[in-house]
Amino acid sequence: MFHAHVATDIPLSNYAKFVDSLSICFAKGLGAPFGSMLMGKKEVISKARIYRKQFGAGFHQIGMYAAAASYALKHHISYLHTDHLLAKKLAMMLSKIDGLYVDPHAVETNMIFFHVNNFHINSFEFADRCKKKGLLLFPWLPYEVRIVVSRNVNEEDICEAANIIEAVCKELTRGIMYAF
């Protein structure tokens, strides 16, 4: 939600007014070490507390979680724009790789999606090949991979990721050529 807010300049309150409850994570885009928050009407929160306790999610020292979330809210939202710029840069680099279709103009936040059908491989196999070279990707759908650029990624990492993906694509292209 914070990435969408930064990318669109739509106030956070506008997202919340269309739902009965809203859950946000402070760990993902904001870089807090842990913590999520559920917001909603009193009845929703009361019911959620019951379920939370039933599933063993009652935490001690909750103030530490709140402090980390508060710090992330105050200091990290401004960095999300950098994640978006780095994602756009990576998308531009990936769009130049033969056999890989990435539309850099479709990248609005910190996420990039691309299909691996052209390589006659599924997204799990593609992600596994990248992992063996040191890059973690998420096999989003059977033939679609998702990349998420986050706070702990810098420009050098973006270039390395593009190089690894290009190397995997070249290996797969050679494999396809030899298969015929």
Confidence (pLDDT) at 176:
60
Q: Are 24 and 2 in contact (CB under 8 A)?
A: yes
* pLDDT tens for each residue of 17-35: 888 888 888 887 888 887 7
- What are 47-80's pLDDT values in tens digits? 888 877 777 666 666 778 888 889 999 999 989 9
Tokens of 153: 């990624």
Mean pLDDT, consecutive 10-residue segments, the chain of 180 residues? 91 88 84 82 87 69 82 91 96 96 94 94 97 96 95 95 97 70
At 54 the pLDDT is 72
Q: Which CATH class is domain 79-179?
A: alpha beta
CA dist 44 and 99 (Å) reads 48
Domain residue ranges of the chain, discontinuous segments joined by +: 2-75, 79-179
First to last CA, the chain: 46
In whole angstroms, what separates CA 138 from the centre of its chain? 9
Residue 10 confidence (pLDDT): 93
